[in-house]
Amino acid sequence: MNGKRIIISGGGTGGHIFPAVSIANALKRIAPDTEILFVGALGRMEMERVPAAGYQIIGLDIQGFNRSSLLKNLKLPVKLLKSLWRAKEILRDFKPHMAVGVGGYASGPLLHAAGTMKVPYIIQEQNSYAGVTNKRLAKKAEKIFVAFENMDRFFPNEKIVLAGNPIRKESVAIEGKRYEALDYFDLSADRKTVLVVGGSLGSDTMNKSVFGAIDRIVEQNLQVIWQCGKYYFESYREKVEERYRSYIKIYPFMERMDYAYAAADVIVSRAGAGTISELCVVGKPVVLVPSPNVAEDHQTVNAKSLVNRGAALMVSDSRAEEELFDQVIDLISDRELCERLVTEIKKMAIVDADVVIAKEVLKLADKNGYR
């Protein structure tokens, strides 16, 4: 067995985890003897999702900066030092040929430790606005894989590879699944369907927007597939299922995104980079509601990259409760606009980012090694 040993670090949300798993899957398809180890943050969703995908993961006791409660940041320096020490220990034990950082709390300590130990690494930057950590880590990175143009604002141009974001291939495989998907959700083929996705953790704003528009949804004879997030599920489920079960299908997390995408006539979504990459491949009319609770407001920048090309509509988070479903109802009845949005968003689709990144990682691993 001459397989390369690759560490993949990061997580925190589905937007980081799904690309990471996609890269790992591509590595295994191209070179089945590759050994892969994930490094994530304890208590975050990667600690469940990565093992479910069939990979080993080690957790670091690390957290992000808490903007809403400064007291919760008192332990941050200690946790950071402990995570750096633990990351070095993991690198010494696993002896990787390459490290891959996908963003999230664990990515910073792991890649910083890799840089000090001469372990080569690459960065996969999903967003159109790079965060502070990745900008610092870029100095020692071998390559930086990006999904948006004009990223030389943040990174050395000679290191940038425009590859797109790795997507969940199984999630965007929707061809011919519409009626199968409608059966899965117990929906009517005679109504238009709106899919609302508030990110892997859910969105309070989008949940309030849906719940506040339920009577209008019924009046318009629409039906909604609503992924509300596990933290919000119980508070909405009884209210919705008691009176509106034939119009509203509510879920904490969407296990079959391919069915959700296939059933949808219009999609309402946050503007995480991974989600946007999937939406471009799916090719449905989209209304984006960028989350304001992210670093450098990068979801708004992500969303505008589509809006400026006429590939999507956008409603701000602050206006969503008042305006979101007005936009959705207007859009769903405007066939010409729907067709125009579909044409433009499909032009932005990149389907093989996982393979491009995996091949480059293996190529770099061939000429580099743990030193």
* Rounded Cα–Cα distance for residues 36 and 339 (Å): 42
Annotated binding-site residue numbers: 13-15, 127, 168, 200, 299
- pLDDT at residue 1, as a whole number: 45
* Rounded Cα–Cα distance for residues 82 and 84 (Å): 5
Q: Is 371 helix (H, G, I), strand (E, B) or coil?
A: coil
Classify burial at 166, counting beta carbons within 10 Å of its beta carbon; exposed 0-12, middle 13-18, buried 19 or more. buried
Annotated binding-site residue numbers for UDP-N-acetyl-alpha-D-glucosamine: 13-15, 127, 168, 200, 299
In single-letter form, the type of residue at position 317 comes to D
Q: Are residues 174 and 305 in the same domain?
A: yes
* Rounded Cα–Cα distance for residues 231 and 2 (Å): 44
- pLDDT at residue 158, as a whole number: 96
- pLDDT at residue 369, as a whole number: 56
Q: Are residues 195 and 325 in the same domain?
A: yes
Q: Are residues 15 and 111 in the same domain?
A: yes
- pLDDT at residue 239, as a whole number: 84
What total of structural domains would you count in the chain? 2
Q: Are residues 174 and 310 in the same domain?
A: yes
At 108, which CATH number?
3.40.50.2000
Sheet holding 248-251, edge to edge: 248-251, 222-227, 192-197, 266-269, 286-288, 313-314
- pLDDT at residue 337, as a whole number: 98
Query: 235 lies in which domain range?
Result: 170-346
- pLDDT at residue 67, as a whole number: 53
Residue 226 near residue 251 (C-beta atoms within 8 A): yes
Q: Are residues 240 and 191 in the same domain?
A: yes
Sites in the chain below the pLDDT cut of 50: 1, 371
Q: Per residue in 221-249, pLDDT tens?
A: 999 999 999 889 998 998 887 789 899 99
Q: Are residues 97 and 188 in the same domain?
A: no
Q: Are residues 286 and 157 in the same domain?
A: no
Q: Are residues 178 and 233 in the same domain?
A: yes
Q: Is 37 helix (H, G, I), strand (E, B) or coil?
A: strand
- pLDDT at residue 296, as a whole number: 73
- pLDDT at residue 125, as a whole number: 92
Paired tokens of 329: 């109802």
